[in-house]
Amino acid sequence: MRVCVYCASSQACAPVHHQAARELGRTLAMAGCTTVYGGGASGLMGALADGALAAGGKVVGVIPRFMVEVEWQHPGVGDMQVVEDMRERKLRLLAGADAVVALPGGTGTLEELFEAITLKRLALYLNPIVLLSVEGFYAPLERFLESLVEQRFINPEHRGLWSSVERVEDVLPAIRDAPRWSPDARDYAAVR
């Protein structure tokens, strides 16, 4: 299974997030999953890759050329794919992913997560999307998303676009148990 992980570049966020990223990398590696991520060495990205590599996992990094030029890439990742820009990176991260996991992060992580959710709403991506809500990180966002249903910006069915867990060990079960999503989702993509 190829798991695309979106996560923070921040070094300065709480250590519990770095620890979760490392554990997630390890968990994916132990389960025989390939971890696909943004290729960075810093923050949760670096911790994720370190965790996966230390456990003998396969890691793919997808990084824009300008980031390589400023040496932001993780030196230990053998399969580092250098792309032209952020858009190409986002496309490449999601293409062929059997699941998406979002660890805590900033604007970059949220942008990537929302693109995946939006593509799934339009049935252009059909696989599980799991928020790893370390210490409730994603709770405010989930409340906001729920308000979108209440205000009829998205349909009630769209609650099934993502799921959320708080512990790393619950990520793989959440991927396994995610509601099936089919191309028919396009029938209720629009709110009427």
* Count of residues near ligand AMP by CB under 6 A: 13
Binding mask 49-68 for ligand AMP (x = CB under 6 A): ------------------x-
Site for ligand AMP in 74-133 (CB under 6 A): 105-109
Q: In whole angstroms, how close is the CB of 29 to ligand AMP at the nearest point?
A: 21
Site for ligand AMP in 123-162 (CB under 6 A): none
Residue 130 CA to residue 69 CA, distance in Å, equals 32
Inter-residue contact 144 to 129 (CB < 8 Å): no
Choose the binding region for ligand AMP from 4-12, 53-61, 140-148, 150-158 (rule: CB under 6 A). Answer: 4-12
Q: Tell me: does residue 34 bind ligand AMP (CB under 6 A).
A: no
Q: Tell me: does residue 72 bind ligand AMP (CB under 6 A).
A: yes
Q: Please choose, from the candidates 82, 81, 33, 74, the residue with its C-alpha nearest in 3D space to the C-alpha of residue 56.
A: 33
